[in-house]
Structure 1
Amino acid sequence: MTRLSVEMLAADAPEPITSAGHAQLGIAVLVGIAVIVLLITKFKLHAFLSLTLGTLVLGAVAGAPLDKAILSFTTGLGTTVAGVGVLIALGAILGKMLADSGGADQIVDTILAKAGGRSMPWAMVLIASVIGLPLFFEVGVVLLIPVVLMVAKRGNYSLMRIGIPALAGLSVMHGLVPPHPGPLVAIDAVQANLGVTLALGVLVAIPTVIVAGPLFSKVAARWVDVPAPDRMIPQRASEELEKRPAFGPTLATILLPVVLMLSKALVDIVIDDPDHTVQRVFDVVGSPLIALLAAVLVGIFTLLRPAGFGKDRLTPLVERGLAPIAGILLIVGAGGGFKQTLIDSGVGQMVLDISEDWSIPALLLAWLIAVAIRLATGSATVATVSAAGLVAPLAADMSTAHTALLVLAIGAGSLFFSHVNDAGFWLVKEYFSLDVGQTVKTWSIMETIISVVGGGLVLLLSLVL
């Protein structure tokens, strides 16, 4: 970024809510993040409350009037929830429809029927990646654990040889591919093009998941050779159903929003005329709201009806799907409030000014910031929204492709080395009946591989785009 463009950004930026210098702002950021980390890790306070209190501490240390800091926080919270809240809700509904109808089981069973022997880890990556598109990571883990354990048990496979590819598929989708909450929040923060980010995200995700999944699973299986624990095999959803949806319609429903959003990106590139009728149609049809809403409506006919769900079961299903995301929405919203307070305090401009004198590339800076916050808080979502707020000003002078790569750099960094302060760490540990050391040697290393390979591919793409 040139000195002239930085000066132009400074001229256009709104007046900061504090007159603090760079040193005071830097201290404020470190103290604010330290408070968030301490509250989450030491006092086990919910991330929403931790982010709220950490934001107020940030404003106080930066010398911002309390009323202005509160206004920045609430403005950022409202803007973030308005931007991604409906999308998270629609994704949760689609995931619940997929799980309760037995559609997810149908995809799993169909793919496993075609796979065997050495191809089984690759089949698990495919299953997890497809299932992981509309599902939150935790939901995907709960959904796929029975399959992983049954395949490992019946096929006499090492649990890590089957489990690592499945976890890698879910984690890569969660960190790099919208419409997951993390990428959506980062896209909103840096004003990236969703279709381009989705296309590049898939491009980065494929080699990343291959390295971290099937390839690393060979090493992980040698490091931790454990059998599948019988006690963790729960009942599958479709065992309670007399029938379930067919494979083709189920797969088409899952992929529908992705196809619509990618189609919009392709039309934007080919036509490149905002007033053209075709482009205007695809701008609407390919918007994430319409794409996900279309998938939910189609799912009523392709998932619920074939499974025998009547109209009376639709509302309870939606309510059950929405209930678990309340916490996610609040965390994402509070992260948006934290981000807005960073920007309004002048921290974003400070990052711009400092990075102007550094030789470190903006994408690497974004990755490193996300890594630091991920290690400190244990939350990929908190790392994503906080890092996006810090580096958002860097996107102002970037091309469309590089802005999308900025989102992916943040997403890759947010997955780095999951450890004891991450709920996902304990989820994997308990489901696979591992000890802490075994979980570090498998799950934590896998997450680090995803982060490093994904971040490296983003930097490589930045050289050619």
Structure 2
Amino acid sequence: MTRLSVEMLAADAPPPITSAGHAQLGIAVLVGIAVIVLLITKFKLHAFLSLTIGALVLGAVAGAPLDKAITSFTTGLGSTVASVGVLIALGAILGKLLADSGGADQIVDTILAKAGGRAMPWAMVLIASVVGLPLFFEIGIVLLIPVVLMVAKRGNYSLMRIGIPALAGLSVMHGLIPPHPGPLVAIDAVKANLGVTLALGIVVAIPSVIIAGPLFSKVASRWVDVQAPDRMIPQRASDDLERRPSFGATLATVLLPVVLMLAKALVDIVIDDPANLTQRVFDVIGSPLFALLAAVIVGIFTLGRPAGFTKERINATVEKGLMPIAGVMLIVGAGGGFKQTLIDCGVGQMILDISKDWSISAVLLAWLIAVVIRLATGSATVATVSAAGLVAPLAADMSTTHTALLVLAIGAGSLFFSHVNDAGFWLVKEYFGLDVGQTIKTWSFMETILSVVAGALVFVLSLII
């Protein structure tokens, strides 16, 4: 593994917008992050506004002219939205098609019909991982919680025995697997190869979710032995549909972007000739934009049409899918602006200068930085984009594989110990009818196990490949 004895950035890199020394820059970073944390946790200010203010405070404390700090922030916001904004939108549309057409219900019902008894927690991991692939975490929770409650009641299971595996499946997709916003921003920040990151992410995700999901759920169900609460189960999407898509068509649609991106990565490895026509074709069809766009177009025919959607209904579904992502897109964009302010102030170079003689590995440093920001802000996405901006210079002389592992280390760290400053914590608490202590014993511990196991696997991979 490449150690932190990395070389200086290229001589033609743009000069920093401030002449502050390392001490002042370090203080500026701490103050900027502290402002973000304080605004989010104490004053309950939206993460977009908090990140914007934090970036400007960072620039001011670092001694940067305010106009240049504003330019850095807006440049970073614009480039981040330009690189991942369309992908977030396409993923939201695909997720809405999947939910409204009954395709998600079809996947759930088919797998549950073939599973029972001890296999049920494993089935819940599979369901959550497949359904959660194109969905944001919060949407995945809303979609899957009714299923978790029904399965727990019908089979007389402990709620934690069924719920923890489902939550682990959703969470691992959110933290490690593109095309989720966090991993995509980190990939863009450190210039990682998306296909390689996706492939290695799957390798890391499988054992991580097994340990944090079905295996830990045995312990969690003993710590918090509760049954599914008596509540009204929301109407399933397919209850008002005459018919719904087939299991095979739904699964193929959901997995299409992953297959296309993995195919591109494989062709890049086998051929490795940018001038080769085959590689050029796969570079196009395996790009995230094309892969997700293809899945959406295919989904209109494989999900919408079988469900009896008219053209007007399909258009309405697309519009409804886009509406909830405005906040997510702005948070991701503001995170990119904060990242760019860090870079332009010279924080990345400062980290290079200070840590170039350290013996700690870059992936471990990336994981630790993401953990600290996650604990402080409560947002996995904010932790990912901020940590990616801080450690991006460390990827300058890394191989393609190690750059991908750097992204995964950041993603793993961003999942660490969700607690009271995380919206996901309260979602889980309220849906499962738990108190704060029970939520910490189950959900928070599960997230921590997922983060530590995934981080350890990434570190081991960095030593052997």
For normalisation by structure 2, the TM-score amounts to 0.99
Give the aligned partner of residue 164 of structure 1: 164
Give the aligned partner of residue 271 of structure 1: 271
Larger RCO (CA under 8 A, 6+ residues apart): 2
In 2, Cα distance between equivalents of 1:123 and 1:379:
28
Give the aligned partner of residue 314 of structure 2: 314
C-alpha deviations, 1:158-211, integer Å up to 9, x for none?
000000000000000000000000000000000000000000000000000000
Give the aligned partner of residue 83 of structure 1: 83
User: Which AA in structure 1 matches 2:192?
Assistant: A
User: Which AA in structure 2 matches 1:267?
Assistant: V
Cα drift, residue 356 of structure 1: 0.8
Identity %: 85
Give the aligned partner of residue 372 of structure 2: 372
User: Which AA in structure 2 matches 1:288?
Assistant: P
SS in 2 for 1:167: helix
Residue correspondence of structure 1 range 73-152 to structure 2 within 5 A: 73-152=73-152
Cα drift, residue 4 of structure 1: 8.7
In 2, Cα distance between equivalents of 1:222 and 1:286:
45
In 1, Cα distance between equivalents of 2:133 and 2:200:
15
CA contact (8 A) 2:228 2:432 kept: yes
Cα drift, residue 357 of structure 1: 2.4
Cα drift, residue 316 of structure 1: 1.1
User: Which AA in structure 1 matches 2:61?
Assistant: V
C-alpha deviations, 1:295-321, integer Å up to 9, x for none?
000001100000000111122111100
In 2, Cα distance between equivalents of 1:12 and 1:262:
35
User: Which AA in structure 2 matches 1:373?
Assistant: I
In 1, Cα distance between equivalents of 2:14 and 2:232:
54
Give the aligned partner of residue 262 of structure 1: 262
Residue correspondence of structure 1 range 64-79 to structure 2 within 5 A: 64-79=64-79
C-alpha deviations, 1:401-443, integer Å up to 9, x for none?
0000000000000000000000000000000000000000000
User: Which AA in structure 2 matches 1:36?
Assistant: I
CA contact (8 A) 2:4 2:362 kept: no
Cα drift, residue 354 of structure 1: 1.3
Is 1:6 the counterpart of 2:7? The answer is yes
In 1, Cα distance between equivalents of 2:232 and 2:41:
27
Is 1:417 the counterpart of 2:417? The answer is yes
C-alpha deviations, 1:4-32, integer Å up to 9, x for none?
9523x152321000000000000000000
| Structure 2 runs not aligned, ≥5 long | none
In 2, Cα distance between equivalents of 1:40 and 1:68:
25
Cα drift, residue 230 of structure 1: 2.2
CA contact (8 A) 1:152 1:162 kept: yes
CA contact (8 A) 2:3 2:362 kept: no
C-alpha deviations, 1:121-157, integer Å up to 9, x for none?
0000000000011000000110000110000000000
CA contact (8 A) 1:378 1:418 kept: yes
CA contact (8 A) 2:216 2:446 kept: yes
Cα drift, residue 235 of structure 1: 1.1
Cα drift, residue 463 of structure 1: 0.9
SS in 2 for 1:398: coil
Give the aligned partner of residue 249 of structure 2: 249
| Structure 1 runs not aligned, ≥5 long | none
CA contact (8 A) 1:232 1:431 kept: no
In 1, Cα distance between equivalents of 2:283 and 2:44:
43
Is 1:41 the counterpart of 2:7? The answer is no
CA contact (8 A) 1:10 1:349 kept: no
For normalisation by structure 1, the TM-score amounts to 0.99
Give the aligned partner of residue 344 of structure 1: 344
User: Which AA in structure 1 matches 2:283?
Assistant: D
In 2, Cα distance between equivalents of 1:98 and 1:310:
16
CA contact (8 A) 2:3 2:361 kept: no
C-alpha deviations, 1:82-131, integer Å up to 9, x for none?
00000000000000000000000000000000000000000000000000
